Amino acid sequence: MGAPDLEDLRIASSVPVFDGLEPKVVNRLIAPATVLTLKHSDCLYHQGDIAAAFYIVVEGWMKLYRITVSGDEAIIHVLTKGESLPESAALTGARHAATAEAISDVRIVRIPSEHLVRCIREMPDIAIAMIASSSRRLQRLVRDIEHLKAQTGIQRVAEFLASLCPTGAGPHTITLPYDKTLIAGRLGLKPESLSRAFAKLRGVGVQIHASHVVVSEVSKLRCLATSERIDVGPALTGKH
């Protein structure tokens, strides 16, 4: 552990969970923060561990996953710079519902749970902000489940790639943020289904070169994410 630098504190103070709070309140919340550095494959905590802190990613990528009854890894979410790990466990001292693992070199701001709870008792507005953040997180998870149920594999891949593109309709080159096996898991696909989806996307001008993706027209990719009326050849309808 070490002391956070100014950039760490800037990122930590602007996470969505602190939306609507006065700067002096946020400064009070992050006052005792320390910084952790993780290497690829290091775990911040494991499923079932008792929560002792609130964490904010300030650099790198983390995945949250659960181990299923059959022993498989089910990816719940992938987080990056400016996102906080689920805060509810930190507030209640409950056990973590998932494992948090680094999928790159990661820098994390850590705020002790006891300090967070003490601040909430003194300033109840903090609790309101965190409840709102938890509600938004739940809504996002509901949307993710809906997409897994309603979208085909190619739609999920198209939406994922479109989310990595800036606004606009022109060409863009993407660097995939993490490996394709993890992308497949995040999208609820098998690796071979992801490969087939990438091949199908050539029909709308998407070229895959290792970890780089060239999109000739972002608007077509976004359209495909919501409708498969664009001709990409034989339909890829499998859910897995």
Q: Which tens digits make up the pLDDT trace of 124-167?
A: 888 888 788 777 777 877 877 777 777 888 999 999 999 888 88
Q: SS3 breakdown of the chain: % helix, strand, coil, rounded to 5? A: 40, 25, 35
The pLDDT, as a whole number, for residue 21 is 87
Residue 20, by phi and psi: left (phi above 0), alpha (psi -120 to 50) or beta? Answer: left
Which CATH code for domain 152-226?
Answer: 1.10.10.10
Residue 234 has pLDDT above 50, yes or no: no
Domain boundaries, the chain: 6-148, 152-226
The pLDDT, as a whole number, for residue 10 is 94
The label of the residue with tokens 């609790």 reads 127
The pLDDT, as a whole number, for residue 157 is 93
pTM of the model: 0.79
What's the CATH superfamily of 6-148? Jelly Rolls (2.60.120.10)
